[in-house]
Homo-oligomer: A and B are copies of this chain.
Amino acid sequence: VSDDVLWLSPEEELTWIALIGVLVQLPSAIDAQLLRDSGLTFFEHGVLSSLSHAGTEDGLRMSDLATISSSHLPRLSQVITRMETRGWVRRVTDAADRRVIRVVLLPEGRRTLDDAAAAHVANVRRLVFDHLSATQVRQLRTIARQITSAMGSPSPLLEIRKEQLER
């Protein structure tokens, strides 16, 4: 067969095609707005956001931050270096275990995140939630969780964030 997705049912294939559209276009659209309005990558935004939700003054370990960001240490290390030169975060060697580096959010980083917030949220709303009913929002959450929970270890901080919101 020359059709690569013939072995999905027609129902499934149509869904897969529609999903690819979201996977490809939505991140670009989010990235573009953040970059244009705030000089911030979607990924960098996620890092700042994670740090801001950490709920501790000690920051987060590089390896934890990597897990939370669904990324790996080499990538994170380079990104943190960039963010450090911009004065958004600081690297601190952990006193207890000197192999560990903690990343701390600096006031300038928090300010960047805050300044980006309004336009970012407006964009997410415009791109996603404006087009979904309350029921669909619930459906999408369930579906997304079922997909990701099978893929990898759920990130620790995500769980914290969920608890914060579900309370």
Chain A residues with CB under 8 Å of chain B are: 1-8, 10-29, 45-46, 49, 52-53, 70, 110, 113-114, 116-118, 120-121, 124-125, 127-132, 134, 136-148, 150-152, 158, 161-162, 165-166
Evaluate whether A13 and B165 lie within 8 angstroms (CB atoms) in the complex, with A23-B26, A113-B4, A131-B150 already known.
Answer: yes
Distance in Å: Cβ of A47 to nearest Cβ of chain B: 12
Once the chains are docked, how many angstroms separate the CA of A70 from the CA of B165? Answer: 35
Which residue in B26, B45, B120, B125 is a CB contact (below 8 Å) of A151?
Answer: B26
Which residue in B10, B26, B110 is a CB contact (below 8 Å) of A165?
Answer: B10
* Docked-complex contact B26 and A128, CB < 8 angstroms: no
Query: Can you show 19 pairs from A to B with CB atoms below 8 A apart?
Result: A3-B53, A4-B117, A6-B121, A7-B121, A11-B134, A12-B137, A14-B166, A16-B124, A16-B129, A21-B145, A22-B148, A23-B26, A23-B27, A26-B147, A26-B148, A26-B151, A27-B27, A127-B150, A143-B143
* Docked-complex contact B120 and A147, CB < 8 angstroms: no
Copies of this chain assembled into the complex: 2
* Docked-complex contact B53 and A128, CB < 8 angstroms: no
The interface residues of chain B lying within 8 Å CB-to-CB of A21 are 70, 144-145, 147-148, 158
* Docked-complex contact B131 and A22, CB < 8 angstroms: no
Evaluate whether A2 and B114 lie within 8 angstroms (CB atoms) in the complex, with A14-B162, A14-B166, A17-B161 already known.
Answer: yes
